[in-house]
Every structure is written in structure tokens, then in C-alpha cells.
Amino acid sequence: MMAISNKPILISIVGPTAVGKTALAIQLAQWLETEIISADSRQFYQEMTIGTAKPSPKELALIPHHFIDSHSIKELYSAGAFGRDAEEKIAQVHQTKKTVIAVGGSGLYLKAIWEGFDDMPEVDPNIRKELNEELGAKGLNHLLDQLKEKDPQYYEEVDKQNGQRIIRALEVIRGSGKPFSYLRRAKTREMPYQHLKIGLNLEREQLFERINLRMDMMIKTGLFEEAKALYKHKNHNALQTVGYSEIFDFFDGAYDREEAIRLLKRNSRRYAKRQLTWFNKYDDIHWFEPDQVDEIKALIEKALL
């Protein structure tokens, strides 16, 4: 993408977990003197810090960040709701800045600010309650089986360890009688900004080493203790995710601590693969390695001409 109009620009930094998106986004935001929109579906939640790899307090102090610690795990915050809120915040920043930086690895949430979402139908809260009860009684695989039957297209795309997204899709399906994928893609619209999409990636061995090292650091800094404090909330949608569900199962006696750590690393690597599969669907993402900062800046400068 090169600048072809007077529209302001949204620069999106995307890629798999642990690749270095946060560090690059902060470096670019300082260079451009702008602000950052977090498009990570778990960093919204105040109660989840270590397991979501939020920017540190020092990093947050360097640049204004939005949608970090903005919600509680007790709230259901959908991609559509985020898209509306983020569009409003992006427009606000664009009043004084030519660029805004969005950063994250959550495909649906990035899609929401790239394309927008149709308004989903209002859903009876009792449907959500029923689904949460089913999750607690029968587990996530029971809900996945329903999703596979009712909406195989979305089943192929969804993060199968993210209970929040699975419940959101099923509640819409039950409430409307239509596939979630149909409603989600029924209409996209032109967004009020240009897009420059920058993807970060590494050779697989290097990426997997980073993921393993990050998990070791999370454990060292208190991931198990954080999960223990959240255990009583384990059935909340926000916590049905890689980095927490494995530890909850350990607390439930499903396996020992060593196996929990092995699964944390394995499932994080699998999540990274799913992220890359998602982003590879977009042919307008410019891919770089994290240390190619000069090349990335040159691309941005060209877009700003």
C-alpha cells in the first residue's frame, strides 16, 4: 500500500506470538510521535497480565496505549464491539496525528479495524448463560462439536482454545439461526483510513525458541501464581485460552507441573502457527524480520509521501 489519498494511515504490526511486535510498535510510535492501539484479544483484561505478555509499566509509560486493561474478565468483549470502540479511538488520535499504530496477533480483532463488522443481532443473555453452563459441565470440546456442526466454515478459522470466541459464535447461531461466519462477513465497509500492514516473522526454529524462552520467563515471573489467583474464575470466557487453561488442568490434577509446562510451550507454538495461517490469507501484508527496522521505516516513509 502506498498513500493515494489524503486519508490518515493506520499502521498495523501483526505476526505470531513472541516475535517482537510490542518492541517494534513502541519504537515506531516514538519515531512517528503517535499512539498505539492494542489489538490483542487478551490484553484488554485487567486481571490477566503475565500470561498475556502485556507491555511492561516502563513500556506503557513511553507511549500512550489504548485497550490495555480496559475491561474485566467478567465482561464479554467481542471483536465487533472492539472494532467500533477502536474506530472511535483511531479517529480521535487521527485528529492530531497522521498515523496511528495498531499492534496484535488476534486476527479477528485486527479484521474488525481493517474491514469493520456488521452489527450482530442482539442475543438473549440466557443463551450465553446456558453456553457457559455447558462449558463448565461438559468442557470446550462439547462446544467445539456444536460449532463444527452448525458452522464448519468458522470452525476451521477459530482459535479452538479460545472459549470466548466459541461461545460468542454459538450464542449468535442459537439466537439468529444463521451461521456466525455468514453474519460476520455479510458486509464490510470502507474504513476512514488507509492501511499499511506490516508483518513480523522469523525462521520457525528461531520463533519457537523465542516462544519457549518467553514461557520460561512467564513462569519465572509468576504465571502459575497468577493462574492460581484466577482459578475461581476459570470458566469465564476470557480465561479459556492458551497460557491459562493448561495450568487450570494441572490444578485439577489432570497432569503434573512438568507436563503443564510442556503443554504450555507446545500449545503456544501451535497458536503461533494458527496466527501465521490467518495472516497469510492477506496478500497486502509486508513481511519483515523484527530487526529490519530501517527497511520498515523506509516503507512507512514511502507511504507517507
| Contact by Cβ (8 Å): 170, 143 | yes
3-class secondary structure, 3: coil
Domains with residue ranges and CATH for the chain: 9-118+187-304 (3.40.50.300), 125-184 (1.10.20.140)
DSSP state of 67: S
Please report the pLDDT score of residue 1 as a whole number.
Answer: 39
3-class secondary structure, 66: strand
Please report the pLDDT score of residue 5 as a whole number.
Answer: 52
Task: For 199-251, write each residue's pLDDT tens digit.
Answer: 999 999 999 999 999 999 999 999 999 999 999 999 888 898 999 999 999 99
Query: Going along 63-119, which residue ranges are E strands?
Result: 65-66, 99-103
| Contact by Cβ (8 Å): 272, 183 | no
What is the grid cell recorded at 215? 514461557
φ/ψ (deg, to 5) at 286: -90, 120
Please report the pLDDT score of residue 119 as a whole number.
Answer: 60
Please report the pLDDT score of residue 184 as a whole number.
Answer: 67
Sign (positive or negative) of CA dihedral 107, 112, 117, 119: positive
CB-count burial class (<10 Å; 0-12, 13-18, 19+) for 223: buried
Weakly modelled stretches of the chain, pLDDT under 70 = 1-5, 117-122, 184-189
**CA distance linking residue 14 with residue 104, whole number of Å:** 5
3-class secondary structure, 209: helix
Please report the pLDDT score of residue 244 as a whole number.
Answer: 97
Alpha-carbon separation of residue 181 from 112, 147, 156, 293 (angstroms): 14, 11, 11, 37
Dmax of the chain from CA atoms?
A: 59
What is the grid cell recorded at 108? 479477528
